Amino acid sequence: MRKGQNPAKFVNTVAKPAEITVAVLSYIPYLSGFYADALKVLDACLNSIKKETKLEYDLLVFDNGSCDEVQNYLLNEQRSEKIQFLILSDKNLGKGGAWNLIFKAAPGNIIAYADSDVLFHEDWLSKSKEILDLFPNVGMVTSRPFITKKEFITSTVKWAAETEEVKIESGKFVPWEIFAEFNLSLGQNIEDIKKDYDLNDIEKIMYKDKTVYAGASHWQFLTTRSIINQFLPFDMDRPMGQVKQLDQRMNDAGYLRLMTPEALADNMSNSLEKLGIQKANENEKRTKTNRLIDFPLLKRFLLFIHHRIFIAYYDR
């Protein structure tokens, strides 16, 4: 038998979620090797959101089966009211599986998604939202310019070419330093980056006094809940490597995929070098052993072994 009245019956108001949900996906299975600095990178990501975001938002973090240290950190951040919505998975659902939950759970009408290694700069959200609000039929806005695969921007280029009040140009509009910085963070070598830069142009679009670049990416983007939910569920059979499905499907559906002309977001990858925490002369102090493991054949062999061990323990 019930004893007394439920106090919740006397609550007259409830909190309403913000119009914008900033959603971050984390996955750090252990804190050694490749992931040695990953928790620090995650902390830098969340701190940059708090510091550099001027618009009102709620922060949602989905953790995709990280180790106890990471999930305890996130719980403490949530208890400190730095994270409004926290979802902890006890297993790695893959990026597609995580997206299925994130985009359904995010309460805001606007969703700003980011991987946990993104470092944001001042007013990134405001400037990205200006593009989302101004341009018609926008599917994704990424807060950094880079060269996107042409097959993922055909709808954007077609709209720009066929719309009378739009001016579109193709050229080397992204400075080499900005382009190289991003691609280096992805682990590419400088020779391949230079070749890619020389062979490819970027499309600059001018519409109603606003300049953007054609392209966007799954690693960080602004969208709306109504649009992103059209592409759910994502059925991916591997943890990574298939996320470009979103880029392709968004383009095939005719949505615009756009980028800010400024670099308002960086990819930290798995280190804090972007923050200047590591010394500039670190490479000069590497031991002969470290130089040895950079030998191409040995490096490929060791990376293969690391990959197989990772799959054996964590890709389940």
Answer whether residue 277 shows pLDDT above 50. no
Q: Is 29 helix (H, G, I), strand (E, B) or coil?
A: coil
Model's pTM, two decimal places? Answer: 0.84
For 175, residues 6+ apart whose C-beta sits below 8 A from its C-beta are none
pLDDT tens, 117-176? 999 999 999 999 999 999 999 999 999 999 888 999 999 999 999 999 999 999 999 999
93-112: average pLDDT: 95
Q: Which token pair is 127?
A: 């400037």
Q: What is the pLDDT of residue 157?
A: 97
Dihedral pair phi/psi, residue 88, rounded to 5°: -110, 120
Is 21 within 8 Å of 107 (Cβ atoms)? yes
Where would I find the beta strands (DSSP E) of the chain? 20-26, 58-64, 85-89, 110-115, 118-120, 138-142, 166-171, 202-207, 210-214, 220-224, 256-259, 265-267
Q: Check if the beta carbon of residue 282 is closer than 8 Å to that of residue 288.
A: no
pLDDT value at 308 more than 80:
no
- Looking at mean pLDDT, say which of 46-50, 266-270, 280-284, 297-301 comes out highest: 46-50
